[in-house]
Amino acid sequence: MRFPVGRVSVWCLSLLSALALAGAGCGLGQTGIDPPMDQIFWPAGLAIDPLDGNWLYVVNSNNDLRFNAGTLIAIDLQKAKRDATDPSAWSPCTTTHFADDTAATTLAGTSDHFCCFDLLRPHALNCNERAYVQADATVQIGSFGGEAVIQTPDPTSEESVRRIFMMVRAEPSITFVDITHPNGAGSVHMRCNGTRPDPDPLLVNPFCDDNWRVRRPSGAAISDNVLPEEPHAMSLDPYLGILYIGHLTVTVNHQPVGGGISTIDVRALLDPNAPNVINSIARVVFPASSVQGVTALTLNDPNDPNDPNNPGGILYAVARTSADITGMLLQCQAVGQACDMSHPTTRDLSLVTGEQITSSTFLPSGVDVRGFLLSPDGKEAYVLHRNTPESSTSSDPAALVVLDRRPNQNGEPANTPSAILEVCGGATHMQFAPAGRGNLLYITCFEGGQIYVVDPHAPRVVAIIEAGNGPTALTFSPTDANVAFVASYADNNVSVIDLEPASPTQYMVVQRIGFPHADTAK
Domain boundaries, the chain: 5-513
* Angle (nearest 5°) at CA 72 between 62 and 189: 160
Instruction: Give the pLDDT band (50/70/90) at residue 239.
Output: confident
* Of 207, 220, 211, 214, the residue nearest 251 (C-alpha): 220
How far is Cα 168 from Cα 57, in angstroms, rounded to an integer? 15
DSSP structural state of residue 79 = H
Give the DSSP H/E element, type plus range, for residue 385. Answer: strand 380-385
Decide: 510 and 127 in contact? Cβ < 8 Å.
no
Task: Give residue 7's pLDDT.
Answer: 31
Give the DSSP H/E element, type plus range, for residue 231. Answer: strand 231-237
Would you say residue 310 has pLDDT above 60?
no
* Of 118, 180, 189, the residue nearest 496 (C-alpha): 118
Task: Give residue 427's pLDDT.
Answer: 92
Whether a cis peptide bond, with omega within 30° of 0, leads into 228 is no
Burial class for 345, CB neighbours closer than 10 Å (0-12, 13-18, 19+): exposed
Kindly report the average pLDDT of the chain as a whole number.
81
CA distances in angstroms from 77 to 4, 55, 190, 194, 267, listed in the order given: 26, 6, 17, 29, 29
Decide: 171 and 218 in contact? Cβ < 8 Å.
no
Instruction: Give the pLDDT band (50/70/90) at residue 328.
Output: confident
Mean pLDDT of the 457-473 span: 93
What one-character-per-residue DSSP string does 62-73 give? -TT--SS-EEEE
* Of 401, 328, 319, the residue nearest 367 (C-alpha): 319
Task: Give residue 265's pLDDT.
Answer: 86
Would you say residue 156 has pLDDT above 60?
no
Mean pLDDT of the 60-84 span: 95
Residues 6+ apart with CB under 8 A from 455: 440, 441, 462
Task: Give residue 332's pLDDT.
Answer: 73
Phi, psi of 488 (to 5 degrees): -100, 105
Q: What pLDDT digit, counting tens, does each position of 86-130 carry?
A: 888 898 888 777 765 555 455 544 556 789 999 889 999 999 999
* Angle (nearest 5°) at CA 222 between 221 and 224: 70
Task: Give residue 292's pLDDT.
Answer: 66
Residue 290: CB atoms within 10 A of its CB come to 17
Instruction: Give the pLDDT band (50/70/90) at residue 281.
Output: confident
Decide: 513 and 129 in contact? Cβ < 8 Å.
yes
Mean pLDDT of the 190-212 span: 88
Would you say residue 285 has pLDDT above 50?
yes
Domain 5-513 has CATH 2.40.30.60: no
Residue 188: CB atoms within 10 A of its CB come to 21
How far is Cα 423 from Cα 363, in angstroms, rounded to an integer? 18
Mean pLDDT of the 44-68 span: 94
Q: How many CA atoms lie within 13 A of 111 on its CB side?
A: 0
